[in-house]
Structure 1
């Protein structure tokens, strides 16, 4: 069955909901297609101890502040899932789930969105599928010979699963530091990073990071020099569990090993360490396979954009994948502005806007 609408939003996580909020306010006909069977986006699949970097005042989508979580300065992932669930209900967003979008094709004046439960023809498509669904694993010599368990951030849940084991955590970003801190008391931990870890000052959290990202955006928009943004401050937010493990001397990073062995890893100088598991906290890539038929991807898998609009396909907007689709657009508070700008641009070109 083929449906027709002004806008199809692909993805029902935080970016898709922010887009839906602004599309509804502007009176457009739209549908949000979400591959997940339940609300909450990627937040419902994170590890048990994950908390936000920011208090609720700096963790909200447009229109509705996130409620305070009792006993928590920084809300946990379950609280975020509940907030997103309530958000889509409050604004009665037209979400269809589970719908897995397989491909987007050009179809005359429309874009044709093909899903596993039907097809939609739309004048505009907003892709908001994020990165969680495309974990990145580096290629390392000996990877196939290691007899232990290898998993990515997306598969990690709790230190209970590794109690008493020898675990190597690879990655010097926030996920690597948080998972290493999570495991530090229950395992024989080796934390491995590509370069020495850079912790942000202890008093910096998501509030300050949002201010820094905003200052960078304003500088770039006014033609001033790039301030470097958040990356200029460091790589790791010292959230309380990370700070405690670091101050207890439990987060001492080793340099990256040169290869895996059957029972562990080996460094270039011949030093070895045995391991029962290796957890790769090595980041993500944008989940854009559904846009393959449009043939838009360039360097690093990104699609060239002007704001959120794809340069080579102006009927397509990309939202929430990182700074290249809007400063801080991969965060709860940061996605609101580019979502609003995308919705306004779409409304200005839509012949069927409701009044």
Structure 2
């Protein structure tokens, strides 16, 4: 079963968990629980909201599809339905996660926001506190992921703006911004797709590009760009694969420097591995940038009551502002007394070894490699905990047998 058996102590709000506590009921938490279930290990999944996959369900825009083909986004032990398209929609992905939870009998405990988790060295167990309970276990799996909270940039004058300021976590459709002049802060995948969506609803997006960015076609020669890169990396050095990808991208997309999308000096795959910065996979925004329907603007110096002043000195008026500034981990706000995470809430040990920390602490979903990294970590974590679980239970059973013989 995905949910562990629980034994209540004298304190009604103190819960002993026989298996690991998993914090987060997104893809990372579900994958870990499923892998543990397959190994015969119970687990308890704590989720701060009232549903599983809340980020995908409530904080994504309507037109979102998976950026990678479905075979690179499957969780362990269960593939996507064969009738799903190559790039499933967010609704299809949520339905897949619901089926996944049902298949492995995963029953998260909802509305349990973890306020504090700390290892009790005297007891030798983890104490996890929510608003109404304390959970105790030998193991703790942090599965809240890299995208737990929206990043809100500190731009001078933001509170002075007369119009709406919306983070992409609250953005649903360009219909709400029809015929408006919209400042889109951010040029990653979200910024590009939101700008594209705004154009399709007759809005005029102005996309802020402060830094360099790699833009690649979603497919090359009929194959997924990501899949092609993964295949080539099995045979060729990373830098050579990067050069090949950029050569093909230049052939398909043209020189993006000419439309103010300057590429970093480091190749796209190497940059992703080192910094976690994902290249943009173009799904239609680039032609609109070339045609001028999506305006490209430089960094914002200051937000004014009616618009924005830019670094180069220009000033423009806008009706709305959309912040496509991404997400961040929130682990540092609730995981205490732990040296395994940095201040920004990411494991200090780099991939591929960041999944295991000290004293029964594990992480899933922090690889900066998407759902493929999540699946890999979930399997490793479950195998490691299951080995300890069997050792503990075998030792307990042997002790019971000895007592009976005595």
Normalised by the size of structure 2, how large is the TM-score? 0.75
Long gaps (5+) in structure 2:
1-12, 238-265, 398-406
Return the alpha-carbon distance in structure 1 between the equivalents of residues 236 and 119 of structure 2. Answer: 36
Long gaps (5+) in structure 1:
221-225
C-alpha displacement of 1:299: 4.9
Q: Given the superposition, is the C-alpha separation of residues 317 and 217 from structure 1 closer, same or farther in structure 2, using an over 3 Å criterion?
A: farther
- Contact kept in structure 2, 1:40 and 1:84, CA below 8 Å: yes
Residue 200, structure 1, aligned to residue 216, structure 2: yes
2:15 is matched with: 3
What SS class does the counterpart of residue 27 from structure 1 fall into?
coil
C-alpha displacement of 1:210: 5.3
Return the alpha-carbon distance in structure 2 between the equivalents of residues 9 and 214 of structure 1. Answer: 33
C-alpha displacement of 1:230: 6.3
- Contact kept in structure 2, 1:210 and 1:334, CA below 8 Å: no
Return the alpha-carbon distance in structure 1 between the equivalents of residues 386 and 236 of structure 2. Answer: 28
1:51 is matched with: 65
C-alpha displacement of 1:206: 9.5
Deviations 1:280-313 (A, max 9, x none): 11111112145332243425442323623454x3
Q: Given the superposition, is the C-alpha separation of residues 69 and 265 from structure 1 closer, same or farther in structure 2, using an over 3 Å criterion?
A: farther
- Contact kept in structure 2, 1:103 and 1:293, CA below 8 Å: yes
Deviations 1:171-225 (A, max 9, x none): 11101101111102321221111135431034259944256468779999xxxxx
Q: Given the superposition, is the C-alpha separation of residues 218 and 132 from structure 1 closer, same or farther in structure 2, using an over 3 Å criterion?
A: farther
C-alpha displacement of 1:28: 1.5
How many correspondences in the alignment? 341
Compute the RMSD of aligned alpha carbons. 3.0
Return the alpha-carbon distance in structure 2 between the equivalents of residues 280 and 49 of structure 1. Answer: 17
Normalised by the size of structure 1, how large is the TM-score? 0.85
2:363 is matched with: 318
| More RCO (CA 8 Å, sep 6+) | 1
Return the alpha-carbon distance in structure 2 between the equivalents of residues 300 and 146 of structure 1. Answer: 29
Give the 5 Å matches for 1:198-277. Answer: 198-204=214-220, 207-209=224-226, 212=229, 229=269, 231=271, 235-239=279-283, 241-242=284-285, 245-246=288-289, 248-277=291-320
C-alpha displacement of 1:140: 1.7
2:126 is matched with: 111
Residue 92, structure 1, aligned to residue 78, structure 2: no
Q: Given the superposition, is the C-alpha separation of residues 95 and 121 from structure 1 closer, same or farther in structure 2, using an over 3 Å criterion?
A: same
Return the alpha-carbon distance in structure 2 between the equivalents of residues 317 and 214 of structure 1. Answer: 29
2:90 is matched with: 77
1:157 is matched with: 172
